[in-house]
Amino acid sequence: MITGETVGEVRAVSDMHQRKAEMARQADAFIALPGGYGTLEELLEVITWAQLGIHRKPVGLLNVDGYYNSLLSFIDKAVDEGFISPISRRIIVSAPTAKQLVRQLEEYVPEYDEITSKLVWDEVDRLSYVSESGVAT
């Protein structure tokens, strides 16, 4: 039952990017429930941030009744075609029940390739590449 009561903390932000950045800072993990374009946009952004090393938090799909099967097939096809690396594919975990998904999120260990491991995300929301010389560009 939806009560209209506020649960947790409400934070006012100026735009969608700031909203997602704040969620990323506060979250221990990301879970996408079945949804539409907004859900997909937010999901793909946090996946991309994980791929870039901006965060090391698990990203989960609650795949109720196979809702995300087509998306997962698309991602697997992109891996097969070389557009997404196998390491990046493993950013996403999915399960048909909340209990199974939470278990997978708790067991998640991030993996990074050589380039991603050199990326640094600082507190002012800028992405920098740290070269072998140690100089950020």
For 16-54, how does the pLDDT look when each residue is reduced to its tens digit (9 = 90+)?
888 888 888 889 999 999 999 999 999 999 999 998 888
34 Cβ neighbours under 8 A, 6+ residues apart: 62, 64, 67, 68
Please give the domain boundaries of the chain with CATH numbers for all domains. Answer: 16-129 (3.40.50.450)
CA gyration radius for the chain? 16
Report how far residue 21's alpha carbon sits from residue 78's, in angstroms, rounded to the nearest whole number: 27
| pLDDT for res 19 | 84
Please check the confidence at residue 83 and state whether its pLDDT lies above 90.
Answer: yes
% of residues, the chain, pLDDT over 90: 54
Per-residue pLDDT averaged across 7-15, rounded? 82
pLDDT value at 123 more than 60 = no
Highest average pLDDT, of 37-41, 68-72, 115-119, comes from 68-72
Give residue 133's pLDDT band: very low, low, confident or very high (50, 70, 90): low
State the Cα–Cα distance between residues 11 and 44, nearest whole angstrom: 23
